[in-house]
Amino acid sequence: MGEVAATIKIMPVDVDTNLEELKDNLIASLPEGAEYGAHKEEPIAFGLKAIIMVVLVGDIEGGTEKVEEAFAAVEGVESVLVTEVGRPV
């Protein structure tokens, strides 16, 4: 297979969630075979911001599923959505 870059949108539980701490916890939760690429914050509405994170996923069974499950288990995460999968640049 090879390596792919997955763009993942992570919604925090509320507007008061510390996004920097949440980002650090997300990176720490990455399963073996997945690697942090980059991130940015995206304004949603009424002060709520999502974290858009690029994760490099190698030859791990299930592709992005393990990353999605790991992110969903992090405290402060409301939802996880893979928005794009492609070759890393």
Identify which of 33, 37, 41, 40 has the alpha carbon closest to the alpha carbon of residue 64.
33
pLDDT in tens, 72-89: 999 999 999 999 998 877
Domains and CATH numbers, the chain: 4-86 (3.30.70.60)
Is it the case that residue 44 has pLDDT exceeding 90?
yes
Residue 13 and residue 9: Cα distance in Å, rounded?
A: 13
Tokens representing residue 83 in the block? 């928005």
Rounded alpha-carbon distances, angstroms, from residue 80 to 7, 25, 53, 89 = 11, 14, 10, 23
**pTM of the full predicted structure?**
0.91
Residue 60 and residue 50: Cα distance in Å, rounded?
A: 26
